[in-house]
Structure 1
Amino acid sequence: MTEPPAQRLALPALIAMVVGSMVGAGIFSLPQTFGRVTGGVGALIAWAIAGGGMLMLALVFQTLARRKPGLDAGVYAYAKAGFGNYPGFLSALGYWAVCCLGNVSYWVLIQSTLGAYYPVLGDGSTVTAVAISSVGLWTVHFLILRGVKQAAALNTIVTVAKIIPIILFLLFALYGFDAAIFYDNLDGGPGLDNAPILEQVRGTMLVTVFVFVGIEGASVYSRYARRRADVGLATILGFAGVLSLLVLVTMLSYGVLLRPDLAALRNPSMAGVLEAVVGRWGAVFVSVGLIISVLGAYLAWSLLAAEVLFSAARMESMPAFLARENRNRVPSAALWLTNGLVQAFLIAMIFAEEAFILAVKLTSSMILLPYLLTAAYALKLAWLEPDPTETARARRGDFIRATLATIYAAGLIYAGGLKFLLLSLLIYAPGTILFAIAQRERGHRIFTTTEAILFAILIAGAALAFAALQTGAIRL
């Protein structure tokens, strides 16, 4: 389907989509989330691993955008092309759930931020907080229904606006940086004296995944790009800029407060760091910046979520009704289903002990399968279908990058731990109903033999997760 010129996005808008997708709630909570589990050395190692691994993934997305220009739905299309209908569906379902859970974390953190000034909002998961979040949810919903182009343009404006307070935070944190405090924080200090450095690093892995989720934003939205080459370039430029911000926010915070004090901060913990440097107005300043940032990321993720469902329906792996568009060419049915699930997750957060942390870690766990399948597809292409237009050296480079990206994505599943892997199956297993509907609509057999075995494994894992929740072995 060819999109009209009015719906086409230029390179700056695609970069804004990548940056807007990644820079959201996570960056504002980095001082506390890192401070809880590691010191300065562990943080540097964690960012080196995450930065290197995510760079490989970014390069994989760039390569696939160039080699497979007809695959317009990013992570979903790559998984289907590489491994078949059901794995492709699971990738689309997982990515869609990531968008929904990420949006839940954004609303929770907004309300938690305001909760510092209005106690009735608590940590963002009180009944009042959920009610206010629900109003915001449906307000943005109707904004997007007015047109993708208009919403994408607003996202570009908000992306610029939210980078400004982060830059100012970095300048003030640099001004308040104390080399002695930074030195004391290198090994983690009291509480982490006996914690192995690799265990400290492992404790950061799901957090680093969460702040990088969105790196594929331009790829998922590639059907709107004016030039196909802009998709890969937007991914690399957006990644480099965001990585720099993430590392600076983390490491400069270690030079302002001792690690135990960072760990004790209320989220958004960047507010507490800036308050230690400039006083109370710094906390207010960061709080305002967070709300702008999170609303911008929320908008980007709402667009991405609907786009994934819409594209999967067009490729006949989701029910046909999800391919409907309204008169503004917005995938309206997909948007309604998306925000319906976000609403359900928001209500569920009322019963969670640590709503924000749960949403962050479950979001990170859900994205791992789509990332792994994408990297594995790139590896399959590099091994079995090397690009004949490239030199032997360039083909080796494609293979090495795809291999490293695959190893990184697989390693993240181990680092994330069994709890969140099992919880993710509670979404993958019942979500397969959508796949069954799509297959029946088109007169296809629901599963091949291999797919049936995979589905049986998912059902068994989901049953185990449900039992663990009932017995208290897994707690929300």
Structure 2
Amino acid sequence: MTATQAPPQQAPTVKLSMLTMTGMVVGSMVGAGVFTLPRRFAQETGVAGSLIAWSIAGVGMLMLAFVFQTLANRKPELDAGVYAYAKAGFGQFLGFYSAIGYWASAAMGLVFYWVFIMSTIGAVVPALGEGDSILAIGISSLGLWGFFLLIRRGIKEAAVINRIVTVAKIVPIIVFILLCLFALKPQVFAENWGGADYAGSLFDQVTGTMLVTVFVFLGVEGASVYSRHAKRRADVGRATILGFLSVFAIFASVTIVSYGILPMGEIAKLRQPSMGGVLNAAVGPWGAWFVSIGLIVSVLGAYLAWSLMAAEVLFVAAKDDDMPRFLSRANKADVPVPALLMTAIFVQVILIITYFSHDAFNLALDLTSALTLIPFFLVACYALKLVITKNTYRETPRGWGRDTTIGILATVYTAYLIFAAGLTFVLLSFIIYAPATVLFIMARREQGRRVFTGREVIIVAIAILGAVTGIVALALGWITI
């Protein structure tokens, strides 16, 4: 910039109410995942294992929600939660990787949504296949760029649409729960209690459900990610907890009532969305249509929220000089268009790759979950670091004991999730993390700074080694997509 050039005018930050932010949390969590729950759980466990799995996931994710609430109040100067907390706790480079992981996870979620919509319609239009045919990819691509044009018009308009859609998509899910309760067969429910022989030990059953529980709870951090738009800072934490408790009750109910309709072996073989197959068995063919329509409305609403969050993380990281400067631009409507465009391009590339995958549906779902595990783990560790060092607690000691318990439980839970994900998805995550380091290098060179410090060299070396190992494992067939 020359001396005669004025600095670029910044768009005014759009402010959102607690109700709207709660809607964004609920809207981002209640997406496609809830419609997959009956089959995904029946493939792994029975009623008993489901109750244990939801108890672990519920407590663990509640602790994580409390972490976001605590950090929003203790560190109000930090915006775009997941990324900002990792950076504040563990340095710029891990903060950058946290931003990339969260962004890539949200983008993979968008891929999953398109695959899921096309797979749902594929039940009546065979040419769409399982959502990964050439026709399905073409239609998904048109939808992808249509949403890009909608969102770039304005954050406020998109948030209002999200709030309306959130209400519209909750209704069919609640209707599903009520209808299944009325049609519940106690004998079938009892037979499904202990799980099937193929499910393995109870520990293995519960562990096998963890990635899908992570997927359906992604979005619990939505209010924190969008914290710069909150009218009142306290609304960030309140929206997080209120949104989480609402959807937790819905997710657990959908899973448990399904066991009272069909034997778990039959549920495990249902076509996705498996909620449709369960309701079809309970009330007839119209039930499958009802669920399919609800799914499409639900997915489109969640797609809106996740697109906004993905772009927001890149935008805030660029504003903090952790991403290249071109990602810090926003239009007059306060939409970070370059970040939104980068997200759309990434989704487009992955959509094309799904054509070559043998199971695009589960790949997109599981990789979406796996990519967010390291960012969530770093956030939990940061909360624990604050109570150990008593950062902010010397000035305001109230709540130290409570926050210590929350920090420990959230850290243990997120570490367990990384274990449950398994080596395959950790290696696939590295394949995304390592190339993204180029963006960090660009940002450092723009600032005329040394590219990597001593500790950062070690971190990037681990990422590259993991990526190379992942690529070799794919090439040799040790892991598959």
TM-score, normalising length: structure 2: 0.97
Q: Residue 103 of structure 1: which of 103, 110, 114 is its match?
A: 110
Letter paired with 2:303: Y
Give the Cα–Cα distance (whole angstroms) in 2 for the partners of residues 33 and 329 of structure 1.
Answer: 39
Give the Cα–Cα distance (whole angstroms) in 2 for the partners of residues 167 and 68 of structure 1.
Answer: 37
Letter paired with 2:63: M
CA drift of 1:284 comes to 0.2
CA drift of 1:446 comes to 1.2
2:6 alignment counterpart: none
The answer on 1:120 being equivalent to 2:127 is yes
Local SS of the residue matching 2:198: coil
1:150-190 superposed Cα distances (whole Å, 9 cap, x missing partner): 01110000001000000110110111111111110011135
Q: Residue 441 of structure 1: which of 436, 442, 446 is its match?
A: 446
1:274 alignment counterpart: 279
Indicate conservation of the 8 Å contact 1:3/1:224, yes or no.
no
CA drift of 1:147 comes to 0.5
Letter paired with 2:41: F
Q: Residue 29 of structure 1: which of 26, 36, 60 is its match?
A: 36
2:394 alignment counterpart: 388
Indicate conservation of the 8 Å contact 1:210/1:360, yes or no.
yes
CA drift of 1:4 comes to 4.1
CA drift of 1:191 comes to 3.1
1:444-468 superposed Cα distances (whole Å, 9 cap, x missing partner): 1111111100110111111010001
Give the Cα–Cα distance (whole angstroms) in 2 for the partners of residues 399 and 3 of structure 1.
Answer: 39
Indicate conservation of the 8 Å contact 2:118/2:130, yes or no.
yes
Letter paired with 1:216: E
Alignment of 1:294-333 (within 5 A): 294-333=299-338
1:348 alignment counterpart: 353
TM-score, normalising length: structure 1: 0.98
Give the Cα–Cα distance (whole angstroms) in 2 for the partners of residues 390 and 179 of structure 1.
Answer: 53
2:52 alignment counterpart: 45
1:358-388 superposed Cα distances (whole Å, 9 cap, x missing partner): 0011111100011011011111111101523
1:224 alignment counterpart: 229
Alignment of 1:425-440 (within 5 A): 425-440=430-445
The answer on 1:241 being equivalent to 2:272 is no
CA drift of 1:230 comes to 0.4
Give the Cα–Cα distance (whole angstroms) in 2 for the partners of residues 463 and 389 of structure 1.
Answer: 47
1:215-270 superposed Cα distances (whole Å, 9 cap, x missing partner): 00000001111111100000000000000000000000011111001100000000
2:101 alignment counterpart: 94
CA drift of 1:313 comes to 0.1
Question: Post-superposition, which runs of at least 4 consecutive aligned residues in structure 1 deviate over 6 A?
Answer: none
Indicate conservation of the 8 Å contact 2:83/2:96, yes or no.
yes
Local SS of the residue matching 1:134: helix
1:141 alignment counterpart: 148
Q: Residue 82 of structure 1: which of 89, 99, 104 is its match?
A: 89
The answer on 1:208 being equivalent to 2:208 is no
1:14 alignment counterpart: 21
The root-mean-square deviation of aligned C-alpha atoms, in Å, is 1.2
Local SS of the residue matching 1:275: helix
Give the Cα–Cα distance (whole angstroms) in 2 for the partners of residues 62 and 291 of structure 1.
Answer: 31
Give the Cα–Cα distance (whole angstroms) in 1 for the partners of residues 58 and 447 of structure 2.
Answer: 42
1:197 alignment counterpart: 202
CA drift of 1:414 comes to 0.6
Letter paired with 1:246: F
Letter paired with 1:271: G
Unaligned runs of 5+ in 2: 1-8
1:451 alignment counterpart: 456
The answer on 1:419 being equivalent to 2:424 is yes
Give the Cα–Cα distance (whole angstroms) in 2 for the partners of residues 32 and 2 of structure 1.
Answer: 48
Indicate conservation of the 8 Å contact 1:190/1:260, yes or no.
no
Q: Residue 259 of structure 1: which of 253, 256, 264 is its match?
A: 264
CA drift of 1:329 comes to 1.8
Give the Cα–Cα distance (whole angstroms) in 2 for the partners of residues 462 and 258 of structure 1.
Answer: 41
The answer on 1:184 being equivalent to 2:184 is no
2:79 alignment counterpart: 72
Question: Number of residues paired by the alignment?
Answer: 472
The answer on 1:409 being equivalent to 2:409 is no
Local SS of the residue matching 1:446: coil
CA drift of 1:346 comes to 0.5
Give the Cα–Cα distance (whole angstroms) in 1 for the partners of residues 160 and 11 of structure 2.
Answer: 17
Give the Cα–Cα distance (whole angstroms) in 2 for the partners of residues 146 and 429 of structure 1.
Answer: 33
1:12-65 superposed Cα distances (whole Å, 9 cap, x missing partner): 100001001101011000000001111111111110111010000000000000
